[in-house]
Structure 1
Amino acid sequence: MSPMWRRGVTVLLVVVLLYGGVVHVYQLATSGWPPYAWAPPWLAAYFTALTALDPLAAFLLWRRRPTGAYLAAAVLVTDALANAYATYALLDPDPIARLAQAVISALALIAVAAAPALHRRPAP
């Protein structure tokens, strides 16, 4: 992966993860207690944990830490799976939810495919 592609993918994933963190903070701030009351406790706990995991993965990825690429991929893959379960098993999926699920899944695939290249630090 060329340095320009690496930088572009890194910026894309960092922006996506920061956006995800903001969305989860907003949902926690506006949904009352308990958060994600519509979801089973394990899923609500996972979505709540994303308020910390999303920004942590973004920070590590931005700082080019070796774990950042793999944490970002793990967060996006598990987020795609959790959202798929919520969208198709728990909720009545509307077109927006289906589109959002497709986007998260595509970003998860990009993160998984890019993780090995992002893990390696370029030579100085």
Structure 2
Amino acid sequence: MSRVDLTEAAADLLRRLADVHGPLMFHQSGGCCDGSAPMCYPAGEFRTGEADVHLGDLDVAGVHDPVPVWMSRSQFEYWKHTHLTIDVVKGRGSGFSLEAPEGVRFLIRSRLLTDEELQTLA
């Protein structure tokens, strides 16, 4: 059981981005400059620490390294009962996220976790 997953469209984009930028990571932004969006960075470019929660790692076929997904601890308090799926849609992405020049943007689709899933994650 994982708190985070991705669609095949997002996996395709991650493969292309990894070919150009190497290992990748996500940080779910808290709504400052770019709303609340999953931001994709070269691994290690966004510094995480005690104020962040590691939601899990995405294993993407064709990408050598797992892609860790992080979220600020304060935002996690609002989202801790949800399963997040990273997807990609047409539109302008964040200026800070690697997909911005591609004419697409990552977004989060969410659903509530079941009681059984929450127990598994506890």
Give the TM-score normalised by the residue count of structure 2. 0.28
| Structure of larger gyration radius | 1
Where is the helix percentage greater, Structure 1 or Structure 2?
1
Give the TM-score normalised by the residue count of structure 1. 0.28
